[in-house]
Structure 1
Amino acid sequence: MAFAAGAGPGSMAAPARRRCSATMGMLAAGMLAALGALQQNPAASLGGNGVDRRSFLRRGLQDLVRGLAGAVEQASLEAGRRLTGGGSYLRPPGALPEPAFLLACTRCRKCLEACGPGAIRLLGPEAGAAMGTPYIDPLGQPCTLCLECTRVCPEGALEALADPRRARMGTAVLEAARCWAHRGLVCDLCYARCPFPEEAIRMEGGVPSIRPEACTGCGQCVYVCPESPPAIRIVPAGAPGEA
C-alpha cells in the first residue's frame, strides 16, 4: 500500500484510535446522562418492583461506565507504548500523560531553546512516533526545575507550574544493596543535592530514604551518585513500576 508523503501506517492508525476513543467516550457520557435522568426522576415507569429494579439498573450502569472509562484509559496507554516502541521517557516538568503529550507536542523545540542548563534533549528516529519530542537524561544533565520550558510551550504539552514542588516527572528508586551509605560508607550526596531535602529525601540512621509522594523526578540525585552505574534511578511518570 502506498502512503502520501509524511504519512504511514502509524499516522493512519492514530485517527482511528482517536475516533474509537471518542465513540466510547460519547457512549459513556450517554449512559451517565441516562443515569442522571433516572436519579432525578425516581418515579420513572419501570413497572413491578420499581425500587429494586431502579437500584439494580443504577448499579449496573455505574459498573458499566467505570469499566468503559478504565478500558479507554488502558487503550490510550497501550497505544502510546506501541507508538514509542514501548519506551518510557523522562519528560520535562509539567508534561501531560504520555499519549496526550505525543498528540499535543508540535516538536517546535521552544522548550529545548529555553532550557538554560541544557537538560532537555530531543529523541531521535529510534523513538518512533516520539521522535523530536523532549526528554531528560539525568546522567547527562538533570533538571534544575527552573520551569522555563513550561512557560514557553505553545500547545500545553508542558503545563505551566507555579511551584516546582508540583512537578512529577518521575520517582526516584534507590537500590539499597548498591548504595554506599547502605553499605556502611559515609555518603549523603543525593540528600545534599536534592532540591527538597527532608521532603523528597531524608537521611535516617545515616542512610537515604526516598519519599515518593514528594519526589519531583528531577534526577539531581542520580547525577551526583558516586556509584557506577548510579544506585539511584528515576522511573518516568506513568511507566511500569512508578510509585
Structure 2
Amino acid sequence: MANASFMEKLVQGQSYNPDNFFLIAGPCVVEGKDLLDEVATKVSEVCKRLEIPYIFKSSYRKANRTSASSFTGIGDQEALQLLKGISEKYNLPTVSDIHTAQEAAMAASYVDMLQIPAFLCRQTDLLIAAAETGKVVNVKKGQFLSGASMKFAVEKIKGAGNDQVLLTERGTTFGYQDLVVDYRNIPEMQASGAPVVMDCTHSLQQPNQTTGVTGGNPQMIETIAKAAIAAGADGLFIETHPNPAVAKSDGANMLQLDLLEPLLEKLVRIRKAVM
C-alpha cells in the first residue's frame, strides 16, 4: 500500500494483500441501519476474500444538494452513531464528509477519517480544523482545479501538524452538465506525497440538471475504475447501494451492490498485471 504507515494503521486488524489498492465504499448517505448493515456485510466479505483493505463510507449529512427539497439526512447524531456502530460491528474504519470547521471535532469522535468535499477543498479553516482532530483527512480535488494545485491543500493539513492526508480525483467540470477525468492528475497529486484515490462514481455525475436532481452515467464506472488502477491509483472510492433507483442521494451514479464483486475481481487482476 503506497505511503503505507498511516493507512496500515487505519486498516489494522484486516487481513489484506499490501500490494492491493484500498477501497472506500458504501452508500452515499446514511438512510438507516438496515442499509448500512447490508452494504457493510456484503462489501466486507468481498474485500476479505479478495484481500482488499476496506474503509466504509457514508455521509451523515448531505449539505451540497441541487434542490432545497432533496434529502439531507436522518439527523447528525443518529447517523454518526450508526456509523460508529458499523465500525464496531465489522471492525472497519469509517469515513464521512464534513462541511464546516465546527463539524470537524464532532464528526471525529465517531469516525476514523474526515472527508473534505470537492467544492470545499480550498477552505483553509476547514482543512486546518480537520487536521487538528488527528484523524486521517481525505480531500477531494475540486472540479475546478488541476491535480498539481492540490499540493496546497496537502501543505495546509501537514502545516497543521497532521501528515495523514489522502487526495481524491473526482473529475473536472466540462461544460455545464458533465465531468471528465484527466488521469494525469493521479501522478501529479501523488507527487505531493499523499496516496491518491479515484472516485469512480462522483466523477460520472451529470450536475446542474434542470430537474433539480443530479444525473449520472453509472455504466462507465468499470471504465473509470480500470483506467485508474492502470494509471497507478492507490485506492478507489465507489458509492454503492442495493437499489440505486430508490437511493435518497446520488442514485443516478451509484454502483448497484451486486455488481461490485465482479468489478473488484477484474480490478485485482489488473493491479497484479501492472505491479
TM-score range, shorter chain: under 0.3
Answer with 1 or 2: which has the greater Rg: 1
Q: Which has the higher strand share?
A: 2
TM-score of the superposition, structure 2-length normalised?
A: 0.23
